[in-house]
Each structure stands twice: as C-alpha cells, then as structure tokens.
Structure 1
Amino acid sequence: MSYILGFAGSNSSTSINFKLVRHTISLTTSFETKLLNMTNYPFPMYSEDYEKENGFSNSLVEFKNDVQNASGIILSVNEHNSNPSAYFKNVIDWLSRLDKKFISGKKVLLMATSPGKRGAKSSLEISEKLLSRFEAEITDTFSLPSFNDNFSVEAGITDEKLAQEHATVLKNFLDATQS
C-alpha cells in the first residue's frame, strides 16, 4: 500500500520542523499518510569501523523501507550554523551506505523552518542538492521564516501569504505524486 511519508531532519523532541511536517501531513487528506518522529531513530554517528563491526540496525532497514515504499515524501530540514544538522547528514550517510538508491525517483516536498528571518534557507539549499545527488525528485521547496511569529500548533501557518505559498507547493507535490 502506498502512502505519503512525513518526517523532519531533526531528532529534537521540540523540533519546529517536525511541527511543520505534522501540520503539512494533516493537510494531505486525499492520501494515506505515515508520520515518523525521528526522536525514535537514535542512529549512531556513521563510521566505516562501526558499520564493519555492527552492520545495519533493524531501525535503519525499516526506515529505508518506509522511504522506498512511499509514493512521496514530505521532509522539513533544520539548520545548525547555516547547514543541515549533523543528525540529518548522519541519517543520509547511513541510508546511502545501506542502499545508494534509497530515495531514487521519490517525489519530495522539501521544507525548512527556523526562528530566524531566513527560515533555514541555507540548509534547504544544501539539502536539495544532497537529496538530488541520490536521485530524489524535489517537486517544490518551502521556507517558513520566523517560525514563532508565523506558526501556531492550533492554526498552522498564520501569515496569509506564507500559508498560500505553502498550500501551492503542497498541491504541486500532491499532483506530481499522483501522476
């Protein structure tokens, strides 16, 4: 059975990117969805030595299968010092070691948010290039600046212009996923 998979590139229990993904997934009513909270995936820091000694964890294999069985992926990446978090990069390192084509051909709505005015745009740009390298099909990107001013858990995106932009990229992604 096919579904839209949603997750954030953060393992923080208070992740604002997870809140954005959860909101976005809630709007995809015409699809079955699966939302993963990455706090449940405590992958060790990748190293060749660790891989040789321990191989691949069951949770990594299950996560890869979730990615590959999805019709499309809604992902929001966080930003640390103008880059994707070490956690997100580590997840990509593990997935690519397990299967270089872990995300090949998957439609992806790539988002980012931060408390700052740039809305994690640097991380978004780097992540778009990184995922494209593994043949992900990025249908659209969306950056939500000033998260604390433009988002509420109850209402979602509160800025009308940003809410419309979000709705447009989500529609484009869902249309691309259906075709």
Structure 2
Amino acid sequence: MKLLAFAASNSSQSINRQLVDYALGLLQGGEIDGVDPDALEVSTLDLNEFEMPIYSLDRQEAGGIPQAAHDFYDTIGAADALLISFAEHNGSYTVAFKNVFDWASRIDMRVYHDKPIVMLSTSPGGGGGGFVLRTAGHLAGYFGNEVLASLAIPRFGENFDTEAGAVSDAELDAELRAALAKLATVLQS
C-alpha cells in the first residue's frame, strides 16, 4: 500500500516535518502493530516543490491552473492513505499549504481524493496545533477525507527529543502510536 506523508509547512526547520519523520520511522521500523513494513510503500513531498503565485480567480482566468497544482493533486491521488502534520500559523494553516491547497481545489474540491488520513500537528506552545487540527478535521469530509485519527503534540521543545528524533513524553508517544495503528486497517487491505 502507498502512504503519502508530509508536513504542511515550507520551513527547512519544520518541527512538523520532524514529527512526520518520527512517525514514518515507527511505521517503517515495524513498531506499529498491524503494519507490515515490507508491504508499505512510502512517499514524501516537500511543499517547497509546489511554489506558485498566490491564488486568485483573476490569475486562474488569465493563466489557468499551474502545473505545480496538478502535480500536487496527482501526488495525493496516487496514494492509498495520507499522513500529514499541519503546522499552525496564527491558529490556521501555513500560507504555503493554504496556497497549494487553494490551487489544487480548483482542479477538484475533493483535493484529498477520499483517502483515509491521520492528521498530526505540533507547535512550541501548549495548544500543540490544536486550532489547525480542528479546522482540518472539520473540513476534511468536504475536501474528500476520512479522518482515521488526529493528534496534537504540545510544547514540542519539551516533548520531542530532537537529538534522538523521537517523542520523549511516554504518554504522547503512546497516543501517536495508537493514531498510527489506525492506518493498519487501510494499509493492510
């Protein structure tokens, strides 16, 4: 099965990218019950590869939908399931993600192609990206998603060991593993 994983951030130092990398390590390392790492084909993407002008109807009418939007949309369509860690900027999506998403939604509103998804988020503060996760979860069905699990990890600096590249809080780590285990049902079918 094909899993597409990415951080909804364009930062080269994204803490949400670090969280996705750790989650992928758990999945590919055989640490999640029910997930066969040998049957798992993982793809990742970098939002920096999908830079486009800021979406506007005027731009779309003048020049059409950029190829990068089609590429993003097609990449999601090629996956069987999604793992996305949403960075939160001022309580919402990053501008980088929102712009790519807005362009892709002009191809088809069901940007996520009805794929099952595990949604994650982390932030330096106590909210852990909870606002953006609530927004993403609330809109998921409208844009073609089945949310299997959602988890916000607060205070990244306190709960993630950057040297080890791992969640250091045992309770949060167990919650992450439980969220990832929800992928087992779709990844093994």
Flag whether TM exceeds 0.5 (same fold).
Answer: yes
Cα displacement (A) at 1:8: 1.2
* TM-score, normalised via structure 1 length: 0.92
Letter aligned with residue 21 of structure 2: R
1:3 equivalent in alignment to 2:25 = no
Q: Secondary structure at the match of 2:52?
A: coil
Cα displacement (A) at 1:21: 1.2
1:39 equivalent in alignment to 2:39 = no
Between 1:137-146 and 1:89-98, the stretch displaced more is 89-98
Cα displacement (A) at 1:126: 0.5
Residue 151 of structure 1 is matched in structure 2 by: 160
Q: Secondary structure at the match of 2:150?
A: strand
Residue 16 of structure 1 is matched in structure 2 by: 15
Deviation string, structure 1 residues 115-147 (Cα, Å, up to 9, x no partner): 001101011100111222112001000111111
* TM-score, normalised via structure 2 length: 0.88
Residue 126 of structure 1 is matched in structure 2 by: 135
Q: Secondary structure at the match of 1:83?
A: coil
Residue 86 of structure 1 is matched in structure 2 by: 95
The RMSD of aligned alpha carbons is: 1.5
Count, aligned residues: 178
Deviation string, structure 1 residues 130-176 (Cα, Å, up to 9, x no partner): 22211200100011111111112424111111111100100112323
Kindly, what percent of the aligned residue pairs are identical? 31
Q: Secondary structure at the match of 2:70?
A: helix
Deviation string, structure 1 residues 1-37 (Cα, Å, up to 9, x no partner): x510011111111111111112212222221101112
Letter aligned with residue 140 of structure 1: A
Letter aligned with residue 63 of structure 2: N
Residue 185 of structure 2 is matched in structure 1 by: 175
Residue 101 of structure 1 is matched in structure 2 by: 110
Moved over 4 A (4+): none
Residue 160 of structure 1 is matched in structure 2 by: 170
Does structure 2 retain, via aligned residues, the 8 Å contact 1:18–1:37? no
Distance 1:142 1:161 in 2: 12
Does structure 1 retain, via aligned residues, the 8 Å contact 2:65–2:106? no
In structure 2, relative to structure 1, the CA distance for the partners of 1:166 and 1:113 (3 Å cut) is same
Q: Secondary structure at the match of 1:170?
A: helix
In structure 2, relative to structure 1, the CA distance for the partners of 1:89 and 1:130 (3 Å cut) is farther
Does structure 1 retain, via aligned residues, the 8 Å contact 2:110–2:142? no
Distance 2:165 2:105 in 1: 37
Distance 1:8 1:132 in 2: 20
Does structure 2 retain, via aligned residues, the 8 Å contact 1:76–1:113? yes
Cα displacement (A) at 1:104: 3.0
Residue 151 of structure 2 is matched in structure 1 by: 142
Cα displacement (A) at 1:54: 2.1
Distance 1:54 1:151 in 2: 44
